[in-house]
Structure 1
Amino acid sequence: MLVTICQSIVRQARRHPLHVGLNVAGLALGIGVFLTLALLVRYEYRYNAGLPDVDRLVRVDEHWTLPGSAPSETGDTSFRALPFLREDFPEIEDAVRLTGTDLRTERAGIFSTYVSYLTDPSFFRVFKVKLLHGSPDDALSKPDGLVLSQGAALRLFGTTDVLARTVTVNRNGTKTVHTVSGVLATPEGPGFLSNVDMLAPIPAQEAQTRACYRYWGSSCGEIYLKLRRPGDLAAMNARLRDFVVRRAAGPGDDQASLGAHPDKIYALSLVPLREARFHDLTVEDVDDGVDRNVVDSIGLIGVLALGLACANAVNLATARSAFRAREVAIRKTLGAARHGLFAQFMGEALLIAAIAGLSGLAFCEVMTPIMASLTGEAIGVQYGFVLAMLPLVVLVTGLASGCHPAAVLSAYHPATILAAARTPSGGRGAARLRSALVLAQFAIAVTIVICTLVIDRQTAFMRDADRGYVRSGLLIGQEIPSRDAGLQRRMFDTLRAVPGVAAITIGQLQPRPNSEWRSTYSYTGPTGKSDVQLLFDRVGPGYLATYRPRILAGRWFDTAHGQDDAPADGALGNDGGRVNVVINARAAAKFGFASPGDAVGKVLQKGGMQAAVVGVIDDLRFGSPRAPVYPEIIYFGTLSKTPFDNPIPAVRFQGVTESEMARRLNRAWAGILPDIASDFQSADARTDAFYKGDERRGHVFTLGAAAAMLIACLGLYSLAAFAAVRRTHEIGIRKTMGATGRQIVVLLLRDLLRPVMLSCLVACPVAWIAMRSWLSGFDQRIALDPVYFLLAVAGALLVAVLTVLGQTLRVARAEPARALRAD
């Protein structure tokens, strides 16, 4: 049987190479796309899954429900909670704190930055990460210990055998000497620890003095717990509310507590580390969350690509079945049984699927690195996974693509076939099936194309959308890590003197993926008292000329007004008094003002301080486009009166390129703070993380749309090829009766494009529902314009016309006499 199957395929390849080539190419493309996207989906679902005992690992998240603000969740948690968690929950086997930091090395004035964390000695007990060199028990036990990744060890020393070597580390200008105490082994599978370069112990003094270690509500890192049993998670989550009431309650004016009723504004929850990848999409202070629906959609595209390839194979097989009808009739006349013929045709389908599977594997090897570069994920061809899946994929593909054609071919009756002047077409049922397959193929392809257009437009819109300030010609530096007013003035004056600087300012907020200090203000109006949590910013002179925010009502700060210059941050609200402020449009709306102008002149209260609103500006979007803009209050200060708390310089430049301006500013910075790395960047560069994920996954949809459309076109081509064979006599008769070539072309195109047009009618509402749901996750989003649907439909029709035009023209130009003689 195997020899017969091979001989049959070779004979078909010689007689009809285009048919066999299209069949193998379509299946190979479908299998290759499926395997490539399966690797991507597997990567996302296995994120953190390679960690030992991952089912017992959880992260402690904070939840805030603050006045005038939408509820929010943050991955950073007050470290004050950890000792109380250990005391109150015997289900905790171990715990660790992890806080991100900037550890750099310097050589010849050039800084090298590493992804680094400060952590506890319990790190290796919780995560069980393997070490290539060193002992997990003592790697972080000494204050000067330092654990490196293999990549960091190679960058620093050119080898991984680096135990006991010393490294001078620069952290925010403070240099410390560390001794390498461990080298991390390559993690098993993707996870949030995969990119870690350096681990160092938390300094004892910092743990005793820093606010996030001492006060509820102040956070600077993450807490991870290792539970004794996976089943303890639900029981602990149920008791966390009582824990907050018991441990975080207090007078509220002692800084450490959250007031008499902390449960009204604050809560804790435990997030399983295995689920964190998808959970973190809307969580603040984490940057590796992805949308599960998007990942599932990518996987669905892979499944649909495979299904389209199978449908295409069915169409090709049934379209060419007429050429094998007489072969079947003769073999049945000579005694062949139907089940034997069915087995042979199924064997042919399986063998073609196997050949296509090998080609698809090669396609997967080529596409996976491209997919990795598009998504930015460390995706590789996992041969154990791929080779385990490939036989199953080949079997399913062979059965799906071979069952119907084998059943049709093996069912032919010899007498009917040999007595007929024409070969059979399979009847109306077969014709309807072929049209239905083409309709389904194009409906899927057009749906993916519409979704791709919307995703691409949304990501472009987010990049280009108005953020309330002028981004072009703007460079933003890093925090000046000092409250020394003299140093801040020298830095300000030095940067202002750099050639090309048109305006300069300092502030405490900047475009970046981080939350900042917030505080509650109240306003008593005609409808009663309104309490609103406001994001705090303190800005210096030149802010209006540098960021160029739009003033909606009132005025901006002016040094001529004495009450514009606010006291130092620590004095705000403590000594009473009155100070002028500017708020954003979102804050004005939250306080209940009908328009920005209504807010001007009103006085907000915070403790004993009165904040008089002198102006309202348009919202400045410094954060994620998925999250709403936070209500904001802005104070003004001058360095001549009070220092800022770690201010961030921003510069507007002109007459020079961005790269040259950044180089000049970095050089000027080094003249004042040579031990602190400087990296002036554009606002777009600082917020790139907000948009990169959606853009990268949009590229995946684009590739999926192209593959789906290509496979659909192969199916339509098969339908056109079948029509060319079946309607040859009809066309000859029509031309004999006087039909022109143009009329024939229009007739054939109308019939062939009918399923394509129906598929567009099916695809549009499906795509509208899917994209409406996806866009609802963005605070800034485009409208579902009919243009996207019309473009996709027009493109599909154009591609379909080009696909069948060659076959149509060939049939329409055939001589009537030759067409009528054709068998």
Structure 2
Amino acid sequence: MWRNYLTVGLRSLMKNRLYSFINILGLAIGLAACLMIMLFIRYELSYDNWVPGNENVYQLQSWYKSRETGREDKLQMTPYIAGKRFEKDFPQVAAEVFVMKTAPVFIKNGEALAAEDFLYVDGNLLDVIKLPLVRGNAAGLTEAGTALMTQSEARRRFGTEDVVGKTMSVISKGVTRDYRIVGVLKELPKNSALKARAVVRIDINSFMAKELQGLSCWGCQFGYSFMRLKPGADVAAMAAQLPAWEKRNIPDEDAGGGMRFNQGDEQDWHLANLRDIHIGPAQAASMTPGNDRSTIATFGIIAALILGMAVVNFTNLSTSRASQRAREVALRKVLGANRKQLISQFLAESMLVTIIAMLVALALVELLMPAFAAFLDADIPVRYTGPDGLGLPVIGLVFVVGLLGGIYPAFFLSRFQPAAVLKANKSAAETPGSGRLRNALVVGQFAVSIGLIICTAVIYAQTIHARSVDPGFDRNNILQLDGLTRYQLLTRGEEIANTMARVEGVDAVGRTGIGVATENSSNTGYIVPGRSELVTVGVYNVDTGFKDAMGLKLVAGRWFDKARPMDDATLPFPADDAAERALAARGANVVINELAARRLGFANPADAVGKTFGAGYVQTQNGVVPSTIIGVVGDARFRSVRVPLEPISFLNTTMGHQYLTLRYHGDPAAVRGRVERAWRSIISDVPFDAKFSEAVVEDLYRADKARATTFAAFAILSVIVGCLGLFGLASFTAERRTKEIGIRKVLGARTRDIVQLLIWQFSKPVLVANLIAWPVAWWLMRDWLNGFDSRIGLGPLPFVVAGGAALVIAAGTVAGHAMRVARANPIHALRYE
């Protein structure tokens, strides 16, 4: 019996090649898209599943919410002291380790190179996270001064993986330190929240000797706290105790007048399992770029929609071909076939088509997946066996898609009555309601396509807006150098700036603690008379050249002047209590931006000039620094448009900067080459690290651009699948209406009238699809745009363009059939059947 079903199914496919091609291609595209997205989703959800005992590994996170604005900053970073107190106060913690991601310097062949992705830890990381070792001591980092190195880093540094027992020398905080290599790590996969080329165990007190206050500061985040909990630990109960734990541990740091400089934000603490870090809500200050569950869910929905469109094509084409198979069904029933057998026959045919489509889909996945994975910067293998294999999903999809695609046509075709079909040579089997069903399905298909086109257009427009919106400073022709905070350069900032100012093509040089798309954040509280709470304002060190180098706009007052001692707020490093008390006694001049002026209560920036406020610029007890505003600059968006503008105060200092900003003219590559030569002529132990502002902005919005490209690709796929179905329906509709069209032409209808009639028949579902797609897309895109501080207006243009494009595509798809049928000789049409 099944052999007969297979034979009949193959004959049916060969007899109707166009129908078979459209069904198989549409299903193959839908299945391939579904499989590729499924692999991507599985990859995103698999982060750190490979770590043994990951269910007991947690990260302590610190979240902040501004009392003034309601803005939330969910940091993965945690103060050093928080992890230590947590381990002390919770007996459920088996081991805790503090991890700092650093980029120390090592010298190779006389050249300074950055050792990127080095993790400095204050304990044995392998006691907490069981990273795989291929060589060396399985116990890991049992003492300070030891290191683990990945296979690739060992080859890079020593030319071999056999490095156990060798010594690695790196420059950290201006000091050359030697570490003994005790093991070689297997390369960490990309689906890990950890990114490391080496893990180095340090003595945290000697390493932070010049910054010991950072080890006891509850508001200083410079690393990550990981811990392994004892088996059976109740994480929910521990989380419920965190508010009381915080109250017991975090002191009130008075700034005079009973006010605390850390009260501008509400601090909250969270425990995140290692597997949830990548897609968790805390993505600020992350060790590796993360994702969010809504994005992953969106991709899953898109996969389901595209596959659903392919199944709809199958159903539509099967029911539209009912007239061609009605006589076959009738004759089978006359010869004794029952309805169960007919249903089995049609379901078998559906399964056959799905199996062939799946084979084509798998070939597409094999061809496209490497490029798709490279585009996503992911390591997504295509396997068919094992826990992450495609075998079971493929079998499941074949069964589900074959059943969904064939179940309605099977019941629809099997219910034809022989007497109704065979009498009077009647072969038309169009039953009431089937046309409405097909129209409804076509409406659904094009609603999905139009919605995806709208989303793509909005995302692209927002991405362009993000890259082109006025940031409040001149972002063109800036070369940004990183590395001034390295200890060996702390006192050489002036020398470096003067050297760069003499380079041909350089117009202005400025040192700063904030730059184009920098991630560092620093703030303090301003005491405003009459207010019970502090006003939180960002604070960044700059020098007198920063305004011109960055292209800031001065809107009131003046900029810093080297000739005015009160403009200089430099403090020695490491922290000197006497110098801090001296600064608090004499005060400092500051420049703020317009937003800071408004937060301090001035509608007109000029009114802020000359006013003095107490600010917590120093760490000493009651260290309120009288800060006089000497100027106001325009608001500048240094970070992504997703991040709200920051109220900022600038301090003029001669040290403590992180970036060197150069404004230049002329050929960018030539200027960069001259700047690099100038750098290397005076600095030998710090690598040259410079990026043009255009490249920095490109990197900043790379993820949004990738998201837009991905949406565009899937929108195109949805349109292709929809058009395949429409093409097939148009073909069969034209065949079914051949005699009608012949009669119309005999009665005087022109070719143009016939074409318009057929095109209008398939345009109506597209127009209805707009009524569904527009409000849904508007709601989704409005919610997405609300995640940006600066965003485009959600006007009618993308909706009209998407609807018009879908209408034109639909008309173009059926136009060929319409023209061919309309031009046919009526004599041939009237001889039809």
Asked if 1:615 is matched to 2:631, the reply is yes
TM-score, length of structure 2 as denominator length: 0.92
Q: Report what 2:619 is aligned to.
A: none
Distance 1:7 1:64 in 2: 67
Q: Secondary structure at the match of 2:509?
A: strand
Letter in structure 1 aligned against 2:593: N
For 1:374 and 1:785, how far apart are their aligned partners in 2? 31
CA contact (8 A) 1:240 1:268 kept: yes
Q: Contact between 2:512 and 2:658, CA under 8 Å: does it hold in 1?
A: yes
Using the TM superposition, name which of 535-544 and 670-679 deviates more.
535-544
Deviation of 1:87 (Å):
1.9
Which residue does the alignment assign to 1:568? 571
Judge which range, 509-518 or 245-254, deviates more. Answer: 245-254
Distance 1:52 1:485 in 2: 43
Q: 1:127 aligns with which of 109, 126, 129?
A: 129
Q: How does 1:250-261 map to 2 (within 5 A)?
A: 252=254
- Structure-2 residue corresponding to 1:553: 556
Structure 1 pair 196–688 and aligned structure 2 pair: CA distance change class (3 A): farther
Q: Does residue 505 of structure 1 match 2:542? A: no
CA RMSD of aligned residues (A): 2.6
The question of 1:661 aligning with 2:671 is answered yes
The alpha-carbon deviation at position 105 of structure 1 amounts to: 3.9
2:596 maps to 1:587: yes
One-letter identity of the residue aligned with 1:20: S
The correspondence for 1:514, drawn from 510, 519, 539, is 519
Distance in 2 of aligned mates of 1:190 and 1:563: 52
Structure 1: distance between partners of 2:20 and 2:729: 15
Deviation at 1:102, TM superposition (A): 0.2
Letter in 1 for 2:41: V
- Other-structure match for 2:644: 628
Q: Is it true that 1:350 corresponds to 2:356 in the alignment?
A: no
Do the aligned residues in 2 keep the contact of 1:245 with 1:262 (CA within 8 Å)? no
2:19 pairs with 1:19: yes
- The CA deviation at 1:230 is 5.8
Structure 2 Cα separation of the partners of residues 791 and 174 of structure 1: 61
The CA deviation at 1:269 is: 2.3
Q: Once the 2 structures are TM-superposed, how far is the Cα of residue 59 of structure 1 from its aligned partner? A: 1.3
Which residue of 2 is the match for residue 55 of structure 1?
A: 55
Task: Give yes or no for contact 1:513–1:624 (8 Å, CA) kept in 2.
Answer: no
Q: Are the counterparts in 2 of residues 623 and 687 from structure 1 also a CA contact under 8 Å?
A: no
Give the structure 1 partner of residue 439 of structure 2. 435
Distance 2:322 2:161 in 1: 63
> Which residue of structure 1 lines up, in the alignment, with residue 757 of structure 2?
747
After TM superposition, give the deviation of residue 214 of structure 1 in Å. Answer: 2.9
Classify 1:325/1:244 alpha carbon distance in 2 versus 1 (closer, same or farther; 3 Å). same
Distance 1:427 1:356 in 2: 29
Contact 2:112 2:686 in 1 (8 A): no
Deviation digits for residues 496-536 of structure 1, max 9, x if unmatched?
A: 11111111111122234423332111232xx6566212111
Go from structure 1 to structure 2 and tell me whether the alpha carbon gap of 1:329 and 1:251 turns closer, same or farther (over 3 Å shift): closer
| Conserved? CA contact 1:577–1:608, under 8 Å | no
Residue number in structure 1 paired with 2:374? 373
**Separation in 1, partners of 2:168, 2:476:** 40
Q: Distance in 1 between matches of 2:777 and 2:470?
A: 27
User: Take 1:320 and 1:110, find their aligned partners in 2: how far apart are those partners?
Assistant: 73
Once the two structures are overlaid, the 10-residue window that deviates more, 333-342 or 574-583, is: 574-583
Q: Could you tell me the percent identity over the aligned residues?
A: 32
Q: 2:705 aligns with which of 695, 702, 708?
A: 695
Equivalence for 1:141: 142
The alpha carbon displacement at 1:361 in A equals: 1.2
1:640 — aligned with what?
none
Q: What are the Cα deviations for residues 623-654 of structure 1, in whole angstroms up to 9, with x where unaligned?
A: 333221221101224xxxxx311442110111
Match of 2:739 among 726, 729, 733: 729
Q: Decide whether aligned partners of structure 1 residues 689 and 655 sit closer, same or farther in structure 2, where only a CA change above 3 A counts.
A: closer
* Residue type of the alignment partner of 1:654: H
Change (3 A) 1:235 1:724: same
Cα distance change of structure 1 residues 580 and 390 upon mapping to structure 2, 3 Å threshold: same
Q: Deviations over 1:602-628 (max 9, x none)?
A: 222225432222322222222333221
C-alpha separation in 1, matches of 2:596 and 2:732? 66
- Pairwise CA distance, 1:199: 0.8
- CA–CA distance in structure 2, aligned partners of residues 260 and 588 of structure 1: 19
Q: How does 1:477-516 map to 2 (within 5 A)?
A: 477-480=481-484, 481-482=486-487, 487-516=492-521
Q: Deviations over 1:167-216 (max 9, x none)?
A: 333446543333322122244771112x3211111234025553332322
Structure 2 CA distance, aligned partners of 1:771 and 1:48? 32
SS in 1 for 2:585: coil
TM-superposed deviation, 1:272: 2.6
Q: Structure 1 residues 352 and 485, CA, compared in 2 at 3 Å: closer, same or farther?
A: closer
Shift of the 261–315 alpha-carbon distance from structure 1 to 2, 3 Å rule, reads closer
Tell me how far 1:147 sits from its aligned partner. Answer: 1.2
Secondary structure of residue in 2 paired with 1:178? strand
Structure 1 CA distance for aligned equivalents of residues 263 and 282 of structure 2: 26
SS of residue in 2 equivalent to 1:675 = coil
Aligned partners of 1:100 and 1:221 also within 8 Å: yes
Q: Which moved more, 1:488-497 or 1:99-108?
A: 99-108
Distance 1:356 1:288 in 2: 36
Residues 209-228 of structure 1, C-alpha deviations (whole Å, 9 max, x = no match): 53332322122101012222
Q: Closer, same or farther in 2 for the Cα pair 1:285/1:325, shift >3 Å?
A: closer
Q: Residue 545 of structure 1 aligns to which amino acid in structure 2?
A: D
Local SS of the residue matching 2:116: strand
Deviates more, 1:704-713 or 1:287-296: 287-296
What residue identity is the alignment partner of 1:521?
Answer: Y
Conserved 8 A contact 1:216-1:258: no
Residue from 213, 217, 220 that aligns with 1:218: 220
* Contact persistence 1:172–1:676 (CA under 8 A): no
In the other structure, the counterpart of 1:249 is 251
Distance 1:271 1:581, change over 3 A: same
Instruction: Specify the alignment match of 1:532 in structure 2.
Output: 535
Structure-1 separation of matches of 2:487 and 2:514: 16
Letter in 1 for 2:513: Q
Which 10-residue stretch deviates more, 660-669 or 711-720? 660-669
Contact 1:566–1:635 (Cα < 8 Å) also in 2: yes
Whole-angstrom CA distance in 1 between matches of 2:282 and 2:66: 21
199-208 or 768-777, which moves further after superposition? Answer: 199-208
* Distance across 2 between alignment mates of 1:335 and 1:762: 46
Aligned residue in 2 for 1:816: 826
Counterpart code for 1:228: K
Letter matched to residue 92 of structure 2: E
Rounded to whole Å, the distance in 1 between the matches of 2:219 and 2:79 is 6
Q: Distance in 1 between matches of 2:340 and 2:708?
A: 47
Give, in angstroms, the shift of residue 714 of structure 1: 1.2
Structure 1 window deviating more from structure 2 (485-494 vs 88-97): it is: 485-494
The alignment of Structure 1 onto Structure 2 pairs a total of residues equal to 811
Does the aligned pair in 2 maintain the 1:169–1:176 contact within 8 Å?
yes
* AA in 2 matched with 1:668: A
- Name the CA distance, whole Å, in 2 between partners of 1:485 and 1:35: 53
Bigger Cα displacement from structure 2, 276-285 vs 25-34:
276-285
CA shift, 1:261, in A, is: 9.3
Matched residue SS, 1:279? coil
Q: CA deviation at 1:355?
A: 1.1
Name 1:190's counterpart in structure 2. 191
User: Which shows bigger deviation, 712-721 or 506-515?
Assistant: 506-515
Structure 1-normalised TM-score? 0.93
Are 1:130 and 1:185, in contact at CA under 8 Å, matched by a contact in 2? yes
C-alpha displacement at 1:595, in angstroms? 3.0
Deviates more, 1:239-248 or 1:15-24: 239-248
How far has the Cα of 1:679 moved from its partner? 1.1
Is the CA contact (8 Å cut-off) linking 2:453 and 2:715 kept in structure 1?
yes
Contact 1:48 1:189 in 2 (8 A): no
1:519, 1:536 within 8 Å by CA — same for their partners in 2? Answer: yes
2:777 paired residue among 764, 767, 771: 767
8 Å Cα contact 2:586-2:626 kept in structure 1: yes
What is the one-letter code of the residue matched to 1:586?
L
Tell me whether 1:37 sits opposite 2:48 in the alignment. Answer: no
